[in-house]
Amino acid sequence: MAGGKDGSVSVLPFPAASAGIGASLAGLAERHTGEIAHASWFAATLEPLTLADQADAVSVLHGFHHQPLSIRAVDSWSQAKSLLTGSSWSIAWWDGEEAERRRLAALAEARHGSTPMLEALTRITEVASDTVHGAASIALARTGLADPGLSRAAAGAATESCYRAGLVEAAGLDSSHPFATRHRLFLGGRWPLGVIGDAYWVV
């Protein structure tokens, strides 16, 4: 995606993966579900950002050809909820992400056919959903908080990230794609909220 002066974003091509990656949808689903099972979901939330976290967040912005923004850590669940329910979301950012998701889906469908692609991605999202909901509740409970709505939002975001990471590979693109880069933040125990106001926020 490229950023215009009006804040709009447009899709730009990303590099293709090497030959053979994504050719087997069964193998793709197996790799991603195995990764889901071993990830540290939400284990690092509310902790100071590491250099690797910051680098991945910068790479997400760069991958979408977005203007540079500060990378900020969310330091409480109440702050996370405030950001999520506030009015400072970047509509251009989220519209751009959705446009890119549709582009990848078209690429993946052209490579594999609609039904096989959907079956593989459904398998990934089912395993993700079963795994991350409990992890999100546990993360909130560590701070003495029980907020079913917030834990559902966290789990939903993580599940969607698993879907998009699988979609990147199914489309024949590599791990430099920003959907894959952002997914690394989730796998490392974070919850990247995205562009809100003048910053890219990470729980």
**pLDDT tens readout for residues 136-165:** 999 999 999 999 999 999 999 999 999 999
Considering the domain boundaries, does residue 8 fall inside one? no
**pLDDT tens readout for residues 64-98:** 888 889 999 999 999 999 999 999 989 989 998 99
Considering the domain boundaries, does residue 65 fall inside one? yes
Considering the domain boundaries, does residue 14 fall inside one? no
Considering the domain boundaries, does residue 178 fall inside one? yes
Considering the domain boundaries, does residue 158 fall inside one? yes
Identify the domain containing residue 130 by its residue range.
26-202
Question: Global pTM?
Answer: 0.87
Considering the domain boundaries, does residue 88 fall inside one? yes
Tokens of residue 64, six digits:
């979408």
- Write the DSSP assignment of 147-181 as a string of letters: -HHHHHHHHHHHHHHHHHHHHHHHTTB-TTSHHHH
Query: Which residues pair with residue 3 across a beta bridge?
Result: 9
**How far is residue 186's CA from residue 155's CA, in Å, rounded to a whole number?**
10
Asked whether residue 7 carries a pLDDT value surpassing 50, the answer given is no
Considering the domain boundaries, does residue 71 fall inside one? yes
Q: What is the pLDDT of residue 17?
A: 42
Tokens of residue 83, six digits:
């950001």
CA distances from 90 to 7, 9, 103, 176 (A): 9, 11, 20, 23
- Return phi, psi of residue 201, to 5°: -100, 140
Considering the domain boundaries, does residue 13 fall inside one? no
Number of independent structural domains in the chain: 1
Q: By three-state DSSP, how is residue 71 classified? A: strand
Based on its alpha-carbon atoms, the radius of gyration of the chain, rounded to whole angstroms, reads 17
